[in-house]
Amino acid sequence: SSQPPTEQIPSFKLILVGDGGAGKTTFLKRHLTGEFEELYEPTIGVQVRPLLFVTNRGRILFNCWDTSGQEKVGGLRDAYYVHGSCAIIMFDVTCKSSYKNVSRWYEDICRVCDLRIPMVLCGNKVDVNKRQVKPHHVTFHKTKANLDYCEMSAKGNYNVDKPFLYLARKLLDDPDIVFLQGPAMEAPEVEMTDIDQQQKQYETEIAAAGHGSNPT
């Protein structure tokens, strides 16, 4: 075919962290393409899922690293973070402690990776009506130049491509990048119609606070 070989596509290791139960694995599994590949790093169980996006500036590949649950029993080994080009820190908006631990995950990344790698803080499960963490509680990223904020629902397919878009813009150093095509998605498991209005208001608050988007 006329498609360039894989090695010509800019590829980046994406480190996915956050407390157990935040929805990390669910998030990666929403995308139908990119079969999980077991990676046999000594002492760590890791699954890597390559996710390809087509942008107005060409293709970009994220090799997304997911744990096999070690985060539930402690921290992750350095090998998980080594050579990370970008990161997503996920918490669960229905679980306060998962937000409290964001600082720990951030420090773990910074301990091993270049401090300038782009990262996105993701508040997941916004489909749930009884949120414990509201947008105005989310302040951690505000003092970090390389950390964006994004609200999402892995189960509702809500904003699931947004963190990848933020990272692509930073990694390719082009704020005008848009996705023309992402990986095919699983159908949503939950309807978000009931809370749409509330969520729209939240998005406005987040935008007005000047984060969760590209700082100009």
**Which CB atom, from 140 or from 172, has the smaller least distance to ligand GDP?**
140
The entry of ligand GDP, Mg ion, none near residue 125 (CB within 5 to 8 angstroms by kind) is: ligand GDP
Binding ligand GDP (rule: CB under 6 A), the pick from 26, 157, 159, 199 is 26
Residue reference for tokens 């000594």: 42
And the tokens for 125? 């499960």
| Residue 25 sits in the site that holds ligand GDP (CB under 6 A) | yes
By CB under 6 A, tell whether 124 contacts ligand GDP: yes
Q: Which stretch binds ligand GDP (CB under 6 A): 22-30, 35-43, 75-83, 161-169?
A: 22-30
Q: Is residue 84 within 8 Å of residue 106, measured between CB atoms?
A: no
Three-state SS at 161: coil
113 binds ligand GDP (CB under 6 A): no
Q: HEC profile for 16-66?
A: EEECCCCCHHHHHHCECCCCCEEEEECCEEEEEEEEEEEEECEEEEEEEEE
167 phi, psi to nearest 5 deg? -65, -40
Of 44, 128, 172, 192, the residue at the interface with ligand GDP (CB under 6 A) is 128
Q: Is residue 193 within 8 Å of 153, Cβ to Cβ?
A: no
Q: Does 21 bind ligand GDP (CB under 6 A)?
A: yes
> Counting contacts by CB under 6 A, is residue 20 touching ligand GDP?
yes
Helix (H) or strand (E) holding 181: strand 179-181
Which positions touch Mg ion (CB under 5 A)? Answer: 24-25
Binding of residue 89 to ligand GDP (CB under 6 A): no
29 or 57: CB nearest Mg ion:
29
Binding residues for ligand GDP, rule: CB under 6 A, are: 18, 20-26, 124-125, 127-128, 153-155, 190
